[in-house]
Amino acid sequence: DIELTQSPGTLSLSPGERATLSCRASQNIIGNHLGWYQQRPGQAPRLLIYGASARAAGVADRFSGSGSGTDFTLIINRLEPEDSAVYFCSHYRPSPWTFGQGTKVEIK
């Protein structure tokens, strides 16, 4: 199974700043089947990015994904208070799905 390691563990930033989140895979992710999820407290994860760089329907263009192989990045531009959440990367094809441990983004 592919293991995913996210960094940093926590990001504390001010509104309007940019957040850069990293996800490193233990082996090449073929086909770039890598997604990013946002999870607010008490809610289900919400898909933001699939295929490493494609935004899911309804996701603001402040969110962008990039990367290939073993290194992937999620960038959140112009942070807003509502972006306060935990962000998970996930490998999803082929199964099993695996998830990083999460990066907590705090808005000061």
Partner 1 sequence: QVQLVQSGAEVMKPGASVKVSCKTSGFIFIDEYIHWVRQAPGQGLEWMGWVDPKRGVARYSPKIQGRVTITSDTSISTAYIEVKRLQPDDTAVYFCARHPTDISGPWGQGTLITVSS
CB of 16 to partner 1, least distance (A): 28
Contacts with partner 1, residue ranges (CB under 8 A) = 35, 44-47, 50, 54, 56-57, 88, 90, 92-93, 95-102
* Nearest CB to partner 1, comparing residues 14 and 95: 95
CB of 99 to partner 1, least distance (A): 4
* Nearest CB to partner 1, comparing residues 24 and 93: 93
CB of 95 to partner 1, least distance (A): 6
Show the 3-state SS of the chain: CCCEEEECCEEEECCCCCEEEEEEEEEEEHHHCEEEEEECCCCCCEEEEECCCEECCCCCCCEEEEEEEEEEEEEECCCCHHHCEEEEEEECCCCCCEECCCEEEEEC
Length of the chain as a residue count: 108
* Nearest CB to partner 1, comparing residues 69 and 99: 99
